[in-house]
Structure 1
Amino acid sequence: MESSASESPAWLDWAKELQFIAQAGLTYSKDPFDLERFQRIRDISAEIMSRHTGLPYEQVRHLFCSEVGFQTPKLDTRAAIFKDGKILLVEERDGSWSLPGGWVDVNQTLKTNTEKEVLEEAGLEVEVVRLLALQDRNLHNRPPYAYNVCKAFFLCRVKQGAFRPNTETLGSGYFALDELPLLSEDKVTREQIALCFEAARREFWEVPFD
């Protein structure tokens, strides 16, 4: 049976928890024997990931076990921009479409990162108007990631600009909810776009969060 977006495989949950425990232990432990044990736990988490994904162990270890410090979720921002009852999407390099957005840079706030990503991917200068939703990515998007991501959706207002060629996206366009193109569902789903439509229509909106 195929798992829903709110369900991740048990082995993935185990690997993530082992990695979390190991990273915290490596960060705060001082005893050399404890450090060895926590490193072994981290190696086991990478072995689980490698066995179930088919990726080489060293590649998994580099991607999954290379962070330091206390492990926290990553941040991803997405912009909802409307025009004539349609929402702006950008075309990814693989031909799928998504809301403009991306990982939050270390020197950005959620607001400034959203505005920066829209300028880079859609060529538009925008102003963030309000927050629409905060979601745990693994509860809504597929496939599940080996780390947790907090996705923030913001309603934005266009000030000026037009699409321009860039290294991240091939084009942009406005789409009605019933005419959405092929979506990059690891980044945004139809349900998330529908939520943005509903939130933008309401003057008073209670922000949903996970």
Structure 2
Amino acid sequence: MYTYKYPRPALTVDALVYVKENNLVWVLLIQRGQEPFKEKWALPGGFVDMDELLETACKRELLEETGLKVDRMKQFKTFDAVDRDPRHRTISVVFSVELSEKEKVTGGDDAARAAWFSLDDLPEMAFDHQKILSEFFKLERT
């Protein structure tokens, strides 16, 4: 094990899961069960374990927090604003997957709830997740 004298950022992953249905886009969100941003809504996600690949971590977090299992995800973008997490310096790699229909989800692990929301009627979001959604769907629509 290495010990470094310089601080390093934490690495997380976030899952952007969506469904296009009847001219609406639905996104899967979790309600945070703990601080920071307790009770606010966020993309499913969390910290990467030392022994896992990024996509594997994202699929694990998605399953733990929503009960949803997916086979593959596509890497979208890395978000690295210095102040994106009030706890410490955190960098997140966002993965996306489009499903053919909304599947049943339930909150688990540190997520109080999981639910589908219309992109046109989103709740108050945690972290920079509103920005992530805006950037992703702006690109999708161009």
- Output the TM-score relative to the length of structure 1: 0.54
For 1:166, give the aligned amino acid. Answer: G
Cα deviation code 1:118-165 (max 9, x no counterpart): 0000100013332111121326x264x54x322111112459963245
Cα deviation digits, residues 17-40 of structure 1 (max 9, x gap)? xxxxxxxxxx8xxxxxxxxxxxxx
Cα distance, 1:104 vs structure 2: 0.5
User: SS of the residue aligned with 2:30?
Assistant: strand
Is contact 1:78–1:153 with CA below 8 Å preserved after alignment? Answer: yes
Q: How many residues align?
A: 131
Task: Determine the structure 1 residue equivalent to 2:114.
Answer: 172
Aligned mates of 2:11, 2:26 — CA distance in 1: 26
Higher helix share: 1
User: Is structure 2 residue 65 aligned with structure 1 residue 121?
Assistant: yes
Supply the distance in 2 between the matched residues of 1:198 and 1:95 (Cα, whole angstroms): 27
Contact 1:125 1:158 in 2 (8 A): no
- The structure 1 segments of at least 4 consecutive aligned residues displaced by more than 3 Å after TM superposition are 157-162, 199-202
1:76 and 1:142, CA in 2 relative to 1: closer, same or farther beyond 3 A? closer
Letter in 2 for 1:198: K
2:105 pairs, out of 127, 152, 163, with: 163
Partner residue in 2 for 1:102: 46
Question: CA separation in 1, counterparts of 2:71 and 2:97?
Answer: 5
Match of 1:154 in 2: 95
Q: Is the 8 A contact 1:128 1:157 kept in 2?
A: no
Residue in 1 aligned with 2:12? 76
- Alpha-carbon distance between aligned partners in 2 of 1:134 and 1:89, rounded to the nearest angstrom: 19
Q: Which amino acid aligns with 2:122?
A: L
Opposite residue 82 of structure 1, the aligned amino acid is: Y
- C-alpha displacement of 1:172: 1.5
Cα displacement string for residues 58-114 of structure 1 (whole angstroms, at most 9, x for unaligned residues): xxxxxxxxxx32543221100111113111101111321100000101111101000
Q: Distance in 2 between matches of 1:152 and 1:142?
A: 14
Q: Which has the higher contact order (CA 8 A, sep 6+)?
A: 2
Distance in 1 (CA, whole Å) between partners of 2:107 and 2:91 is 29
CA distance in 1, matches of 2:68, 2:57: 13
Name the CA distance, whole Å, in 2 between partners of 1:98 and 1:112.
Answer: 19
Mark the runs of 5 or more structure 2 residues left unpaired by the alignment.
none
5 Å-filtered alignment, 1:34-53, equals: none
Cα distance, 1:170 vs. partner? 1.9
For 2:29, which of 66, 89, 104 is the aligned residue?
A: 89
172 and 164 in structure 1: CA distance in 2 versus 1, 3 angstrom threshold: closer
Identity %: 24
Greater C-alpha radius of gyration? 1
